[in-house]
A and B are shown apart, each in its own frame.
Chain A
Amino acid sequence: MIKKVLIANRGEIAVRIIRACREMGIMTVAVCSEADRNALHSQLADETICIGPAPSSESYLNVGRIISATMTSGADAIHPGFGFLSEDAEFAKICEKCNITFIGPTSEMIAASGNKANAKKTMIEAGVPVIPGSAEAANTPADGLKLAKIAGFPVMIKAALGGGGKGMRVARSEDVFEKAFLTAQAEAKASFGDDSMYVEHYVEHPKHIEVQILADKFGNVIHLGERDCSVQRNHQKLIEETPCDSLPEDLREKIREAAVKAAKAVSYENAGTCEFLVEPDGKFYFMEMNTRIQVEHPITEWVTGVDLIREQIKIASGLPLEYKQEDIRISGHSIEVRINAEDPEHKFRPCPGKIETVYLPGGKGVRVDSAVYAGLEIPPYYDSMLAKLSVWAPTREEARRKMQTALGEVIITGIKTNIDYQYSLITHKDFIEGRTDIDFIDRISRG
């Protein structure tokens, strides 16, 4: 069993991990940058090692220093949290070589998931549905159309070397395909100097549904239900909930099974998340596997009663899963909102600064994961998330009301936050009625 864990992260997730370790009788070592000497995780851990200046590249992303800190402190494991080095295959590999337990999947699995093209192939072979589209590139509208017919309209035409939205066009039907293809191709040629185009099915107004997976080193894989993370702004999740009541139960079951299949296909181990896009007509497609603990894991913990960090540590220690699939009972409904130091009135720009007052809500079914306290200076160098507020209640509407109540109590002064913005989302008619997809935020901000 792991005896001492170094947490290669900061903020609320570092605090969350320290708490889990402490409950398990495991010693904790925090690492911090010079800007984070007063951060809660630095204060709370059994030991703290300052590993470098504020910029992440010189601290939380600096592999050499983190490994050195691990050796010096005598820790036998590293929990990477999320972000930073959590999905860095090379870092995981170095841990393996240094005989440090990396609390997460193996470096190979991380690398395999990171290679999108290969991952897609593996999933097709395993029978997990992926977005239909060309494995090969097309250079003429005629070839493109062949691929489009296989993918199914509407289709997305995109530059093979693309990025940043350039050289991308949606064609809704066959008769507009040629024009869209040529426009996208001309853009691609101008932007990337290459006119090879991919054609794939365009998934319209999908929901972002993801399934929490736990897998041990013995091939046991279970899922812990799905999470609906459709409420996103610029690909940043804002609100997550579970279960996804707006989808029929049989569809949800199919998605969960697909997730387990996907995890088994890559012989996954530890906690992971399979992301899917679900179309309004119920078609769903595997997107990618996140090989780390997710920000929104508390809502899964609410409805299943499983402590995911604890399970991660147990799996990494080589223990078999204690749960079988039938032991997992999803009960009630849970919602989480992310509270960020950002200014919704000014394009959500980050607002670092000194926190003057903090009041955080409580009561039955209310949980706060945060690393803020009054007097703490929020440094400008890192992610702007301050806290995660999550609630549980027997039904979705009760949970939503509980969230509305709790969110109404949150007070953070001294810096700008998105609390009011989140309050407006939680009380939005479409959200109340469960009519959210990934275009929800776009739709309401356009009015």
Chain B
Amino acid sequence: MELRYLFKKTQTVRDDSLDREKKANRPSAPNGLFHKCPGCNETLFSDELKRNLFVCPNCGYYFRMYASTRIESIADKDTFTEWDDDIGETNPLSTPGYEKKIEALRQATELHEAVVTGRCKIGGIDSVLCVMDTRFMMASMGQVVGEKITRAVERATEERLPVIIFCASGGARMQEGIISLMQMAKTSAALERHSKEGLLYVSVLTDPTTGGVTASFAMLGDIILAEPGALIGFAGPRVIEQTIGQKLPEGFQRAEFLEEHGFVDAVVRRGDMKDTLSKILKLHSKGEFTPSGIKVPKKKGKKAKHTPWEKVMISRGKDRPIADDYIEKIFPDFTEFKGDRYYRDNKAVRCGIATFAGIPVTVIAQAKGSNTKKNIERDFGMPSPDGYRKALRAMKQAEKFSRPVICLVDTPGAFCGIEAEERGEGEAIARNLAAMSSLKTPILSIVISEAGSGGALAIAVADKVFMLENSIYAILSPEGYASILWKDSKRADEAASEMKLTADDLLDLKVIDGIIAEPEDLSRKTVGEVVPGMISCIESFIKETKDIPAEDLISSRYGRFRKF
């Protein structure tokens, strides 16, 4: 029974005046009060959308941002000064109607061109900020865009400022043809000079970053960030689909896809972008070395003596702390940067920058997982070539920005598998050994659990190598050793004794420089007890090495390994 048909509703006579009333008095939504979300079709109130930095509060869809709003959301309040907003337009190929089109866009968007450049403070740090705006001919790169970016970068080089570019572009500007193409070379060259001066460039890829911009300045950042879901690629997806005649997979060419493939350091939510940039800028500012001077109390009483085989078992213990635990305790502001810039982000190695005793340091860690699922994701801490190449990239950046490198070594060995060989596991390790031997910045490696073979050495060609008391470092596993020499892997305990893989043995052999004491029952819960020893070790290392000229450092590093 539906009541609606039973009620006698008052027949309200419709008043004619309602229709005759001026239209202006009738309810209507003024232009721009609402936005429809392309992601979920929800009607959104502009103020709310703006407060949410143009991310749909309902479904998380990222609206493209105007340059002005972007600057407002990134630059410290009232610190942005615009540069070069008066460069005259050019029409190098005399394309008919081009000037008119530009003029009309200038009127409609109140933009001078597809990029806004200038200087501002971000988190209190002076920076050059360039922001592209897709409303202006899809932010395609013509002469003016290329010129504005080049001038901004040149000025940043001169004034020794970091550069941040928010990229978004359809690519080259067709109307300017070959001259547009030259902008790719021009901007890249300017950035290379900036980089050679040891200055920081952070590129932020927003939706869409494609074509000639991707293939030039967008991909040249020391650090490349991206907004979630942003389309990033060289060729557009439609072009690829038509060329290869195949449907592209879900998520192809999106920010997350690029992160997975090693081309983006981090996908950063818009709401966190300013904080992330501020942190990156801070991590690239010179700090004052202020060691905590932490003293490690000498433990009294006798500790149980472990046999080498027992140490092997301890170092592989299920509850043994992993790199994540040390990073959390020793480098609380660790900011991770992913990817090898070639093929993939390998999760068995984690790289990042952190502040340690007041100065920025590069942290490279072989990372096992805290549980089976994470261990599978991280290949049980066995790095693939991509992991070593990522580590090398981090070291090269450390060299550029004069940061000490701290490596936490923990791997059973390099990853063993078809893809690893296809991509050159041996080459990747060799390349690291060579590069580390001549890296112009101090390197400290600490073996935290097991250091297996070349897979470990690839991040242990250091000025100093330390080991935790119960960790091991060997050419291969005792099982492997026993199996090769005695055709019996069950004799691993015997092998462990012969191999001289304990910290004490290795100190005697001068393979390592020192041992960090462990509590009786080192576990993920008691990790805090070993941390002071590690901090003290890192502090002394930095103190000893910070004033040594790079050539001397390299020469003594050479000597350190030459002696074997």
Contact = CB atoms under 8 A, between A and B. Distances in A.
Interface string A84-114: 0000001000100111100000000000000
A140 to B, nearest CB: 30
Contact of A90 (B1, B7, B13, B48): B48
A380 interface: no
- Among B1, B4, B25, B30, the one with the most A-chain Cβ atoms within 10 Å of its Cβ is B4
Interface string A48-81: 1000000000000011110110110011100000
A188 B34 CA distance: 42
B28 A99 contact: yes
Given A3-B18, A22-B9, A27-B12, A67 B1 contact: no
B2 A67 contact: no
A44 interface: yes
A75 B27 CA distance: 8
The 7 A-B residue pairs with the shortest CB-CB distance in the complex, in nearest-first order? A64-B43, A43-B4, A43-B3, A100-B27, A22-B10, A99-B27, A98-B29
A25 interface: yes
Nearest to B25: A99
Interface of B: 1-4, 7, 9-10, 12-15, 18, 24-30, 33-34, 42-45, 47-48
Contacts of B28: 71, 98-99
Contact of B45 (A4, A42, A63): A63
Interface in A17-51: 22, 25-27, 38, 40, 42-44, 46, 48
B2 A43 contact: yes
Contact of B7 (A44, A48, A71, A75): A44
Given A64-B43, A90-B45, A71 B29 contact: yes
Contacts of B48: 90
A74 B27 CA distance: 8
Contact of B27 (A44, A48, A65, A70): A70
Interface residues of A, number: 32
A98 B33 contact: yes
Nearest to A94: B45
A68 B43 CA distance: 8
Nearest to A75: B27
A375 B1 CA distance: 9
A42 B7 CA distance: 12
A65 B13 CA distance: 27
Contacts of A40: 3
Contacts of A71: 27-29
A43 B4 CA distance: 4
A64 B44 contact: yes
A64 B35 CA distance: 9
20 contacts: A3-B18, A22-B9, A22-B12, A25-B12, A40-B3, A43-B2, A43-B3, A43-B4, A44-B9, A48-B4, A63-B43, A65-B43, A67-B34, A67-B43, A90-B48, A94-B45, A98-B29, A99-B24, A99-B26, A100-B27
B479 to A, nearest CB: 50
Nearest to B12: A27
A71 B30 CA distance: 12
A404 to B, nearest CB: 31
Contacts of B10: 22, 25
A373 interface: yes
A94 B43 contact: no
A324 to B, nearest CB: 31
A153 B349 CA distance: 62
- Among B29, B42, B43, B44, the one with the most A-chain Cβ atoms within 10 Å of its Cβ is B29
A65 to B, nearest CB: 7
B44 A76 contact: no
B33 to A, nearest CB: 6
A100 B33 CA distance: 14
- Among B24, B34, B44, the one with the most A-chain Cβ atoms within 10 Å of its Cβ is B34
Nearest to A91: B45
Contacts of B42: 62, 64
A76 B26 contact: yes
A330 to B, nearest CB: 32
A94 B32 CA distance: 12
B15 A3 contact: yes
B259 to A, nearest CB: 31
Contacts of A4: 18
A373 B3 contact: yes
Contacts of B7: 43-44
A106 to B, nearest CB: 16
Contacts of A42: 4
Contacts of A99: 24-28
A63 B57 CA distance: 13
A48 B7 CA distance: 14
Contacts of B33: 94, 97-98
Contacts of B47: 90
A4 to B, nearest CB: 8
Contacts of B25: 99
B387 to A, nearest CB: 38
Interface string A240-273: 0000000000000000000000000000000000
A290 B314 CA distance: 66
A77 to B, nearest CB: 9
A22 B8 CA distance: 11
A46 B43 contact: no
- Among A43, A44, A70, the one with the most B-chain Cβ atoms within 10 Å of its Cβ is A43
Contacts of B2: 38, 43
A285 to B, nearest CB: 34
Given A4-B18, A44-B3, A94-B45, 10 more contacts: A25-B10, A25-B13, A38-B2, A40-B3, A46-B9, A63-B43, A99-B25, A99-B26, A99-B28, A375-B1
A76 B2 CA distance: 28
A7 to B, nearest CB: 14
Nearest to B48: A90
B12 A46 contact: yes
A435 to B, nearest CB: 44
Contacts of A70: 27
B212 to A, nearest CB: 39
A208 to B, nearest CB: 34
A293 to B, nearest CB: 22
Contacts of A68: 43
Contacts of B43: 63-65, 67-68
B277 to A, nearest CB: 26
A252 to B, nearest CB: 39
Nearest to B4: A43
B45 A64 contact: yes
A93 to B, nearest CB: 8
A65 B44 CA distance: 9
Contacts of A65: 43
Contacts of A62: 42
B1 to A, nearest CB: 7
Contacts of B14: 27
A67 B48 CA distance: 15
